[in-house]
Amino acid sequence: MYDHLAVGELAPKVLWSRGEGFVVNPTLRRLLREGRPYFPRLAGGTALGVLAGVAPLTIIKVTGLLQSDVLIKQPHWDILVLIIALIVGSQIVGNLASYGQAYITAFAGQQMVADFRARMFDRVARMPLREFDRWRPGELQSRMTADLGLMTDALSISLPQFVQTVVTFIGSLAWMITLDWLLAVVLFIAAPIVAWVVNKFNRLIVAGTKRSQERIADLSSNLMEVLANQRIVKAFRREDFERDRFAAANQRYVSAYMKVTQFNQTQAPVLAFIVMLAICAVVAVTTREVAAGRMSPSQAWEFWAATGLLINPMNRFSIFFSDFARAFVGTQRVFQILDLPIEPNDPPDAVPLRAVVGDIRFENVTFAYDDDRAVLSNFTAEMLHGEVVALVGPSGAGKSTIVNLVPRFYEPQSGRITVDGIDIANVRLGDLRNAIAIVPQETQLFNGTIADNIRYGRLTASDDEIVVAAKEANADEFVRRLPDGYDTIVGERGIRLSGGQRQRLAIARAILRDPRILILDEATSALDSHSEALIEDALDRLLPGRTTLIIAHRLSTIRRATKILYIEGGRIRETGTHDDLIAAGGPYADLHAAQFAR
């Protein structure tokens, strides 16, 4: 649906012409609008940046004083001390202003990017599944990491340095003089000290960066978990819970990042201060040489004034402009995510769904993922409370679509679906999904404790209720054998547990929810016989009294069904019990014979 354009095609121009005037690019205009809450901090940081850029210009004025007759004819050491004090003072003020600007700008930029990140996460979590299925999870992750990273670099690093560089460049341009590169040799006296300081700071930066990367890894892991478990999040109405969990991890990353920023921004002024002391030594030495008549004042100071204040800014402008262009590309891609549709809020007249019995009816329902091919066509069926309804048929018949329509993961194009006689299109979405639990074929667990994964079914459940649910799901026995029991970390997607153990935890989660409508997607497939027997036993306790929909891939698992719907081509071909359909000798009997003939 969305074109993945090349960087050059996406990169917007900051201004474009319209008639005789200029109009701000929409991306920049929106970025300025979104950034209004952070303008006071950014303005303060910019003011400090101007001060940091102006401070070095005092050195040029000092150069003029050093060339005056007062020092040339006879050294006045009190004046020399004053000049050195001005140099030191201007550098201290400039470095403090530079640090303040960098930290304030980075803080404002990080908070703005963190807000974008949280809003993008909430937007993705609330996207309709129809929209969500059109995106690759890796693409969404890239938008929330790489593209936001472009914005982060521009706001936190390039912008502060750009302000200082522009001010220094403009101020020093009028004082351009001829350079003498041989004087650069005097700066090497600071090399051993610089090397020692760099080594010390590198250790701090490496340690801080490691912590920061660990935090962003946690953040990315949390993101991909929710993206992979989107149906579970929606089925249990955990969008708000996941938003808050993500926000906490998000803030931990911001704190770690700001610590690294402190180290990075402290290193530069410390090194600059050391080099400045070396330049002060040059001032003293060259002044002595001038007094002795071995060097003219202009030869002593031209290198210091011009090289330090002009050449470096000129070399860095191209880097800044490249960073800003890439940041605009990232910003445009971020806004594309923020503009995606989300599941609409319940209208004011939404009907509450209380005391659900569980009678489900499909009335002439037509549904298509694409406009040119209907998966269900005038589909009509009923699943009454207490029934165990098995959906059987070839791949692509529409079985998964049917169960996805019940919790309103998708909306039909025509017809209606009712629960207890009420059209689910008109009921409160939270009430509907609170009455439903899903046990998927591939159990989806979160990287937390066993207790946390069971409690996902009902966040307010007590520890005792979790244990009861685990016992009913035949999970308590294996949980208690683990070293940490219910506090055992299951790993991402439950990787540390076997398939049968993960499936029993999913059943315990459903039991804890105590739903009126239960959806099973072949809960015993791909399991060993022992695990299958334990799960079958747990299901025998879970199913009674509920409306149960089973997507059956193996016919041996549907013998407990009280009703079988054989679906083909989006329509019901046969309805009945297992024995009735076998006796009828229709397509169900053919499917049964083909499977058990192997």
String of DSSP letters for 372-409:
TB-SEEEEEEEE-TT-EEEEE-STTSSHHHHHHHTTTS
Write out the DSSP string of 137-163.
HHHHHHIIIIIHHHHHHIIIIIHHHHH
Quickly count: other Cβ atoms within 10 Å of residue 152's Cβ.
Answer: 21
Domains of the chain are 7-338 (1.20.1560), 360-596 (3.40.50.300)
Asked if 225 contacts 446 with a C-beta cutoff of 8 angstroms, the reply is yes
Amino acid at 405: L
How wide is the angle at C-alpha 471 spanned by C-alphas 515 and 496, nearest 5°? 95
pLDDT score for 145: 78
| Buried b or exposed e, range 332-363, using 16+ CB within 10 angstroms | bbbbebeebeebeeeeeebeebeebebbbbbe
pLDDT score for 28: 79
Query: What three-state secondary structure class fits 438?
Result: strand
Beta strands 571-576; 376-383: pairing state: unpaired
Tell me the two tokens of residue 506: 């999913």
Alpha-carbon span 544 to 432, nearest angstrom: 20
pLDDT score for 493: 73
Alpha-carbon span 413 to 376, nearest angstrom: 10
Tell me the two tokens of residue 518: 């239960």
Report which secondary-structure segment, H or E, holds 255. helix 239-291
**Site of tokens 């990140």:** 117
Alpha-carbon span 84 to 282, nearest angstrom: 11
How wide is the angle at C-alpha 241 spanned by C-alphas 238 and 244, nearest 5°? 150
- Give backbone dihedrals phi and psi of 413, rounded to 5 degrees, phi first: -75, -30
Residue among 305, 287, 306, 284 nearest 295 (CA)? 287
What are the helix (H) ranges across 188-238?
191-228, 230-235
- Give backbone dihedrals phi and psi of 18, rounded to 5 degrees, phi first: -140, 105
Alpha-carbon span 175 to 198, nearest angstrom: 32
Write out the DSSP string of 29-98.
HHHHHHTGGGHHHHHHHHHHHHHHHHGGGHHHHHHHHHTSHHHHHS--HHHHHHHHHHHHHHHHHHHHHH
Alpha-carbon span 135 to 141, nearest angstrom: 10
Residue 75 CB-density burial (10 A; 0-12 exposed, 13-18 middle, 19+ buried): middle
CA dihedral 294, 300, 303, 308 (to 10 degrees): 150
Splitting the chain (598 residues) into consecutive groups of 10 residues, what average pLDDT does each group show? 39 44 66 83 84 78 62 63 79 85 84 88 87 75 76 78 79 57 54 63 62 66 75 84 86 79 70 66 63 62 62 60 70 85 86 89 90 85 91 86 91 92 91 89 84 91 92 89 90 80 88 90 65 77 86 71 89 89 88 70
Per-residue DSSP letter, 498: -
| Helices 463-472/529-542 angle, 10° precision | 120
Query: What three-state secondary structure class fits 456?
Result: coil
Alpha-carbon span 400 to 231, nearest angstrom: 12
pLDDT score for 66: 64
Tell me the two tokens of residue 475: 């999970």
pLDDT score for 12: 42
pLDDT score for 364: 93
Residue among 466, 441, 429, 456 nearest 236 (CA)? 456
pLDDT score for 14: 46
Alpha-carbon span 474 to 505, nearest angstrom: 9
Tell me the two tokens of residue 131: 């929209």
| Buried b or exposed e, range 399-425, using 16+ CB within 10 angstroms | bebbbbbbbbbbebeebebbbbebebe
- Give backbone dihedrals phi and psi of 172, rounded to 5 degrees, phi first: -85, -15
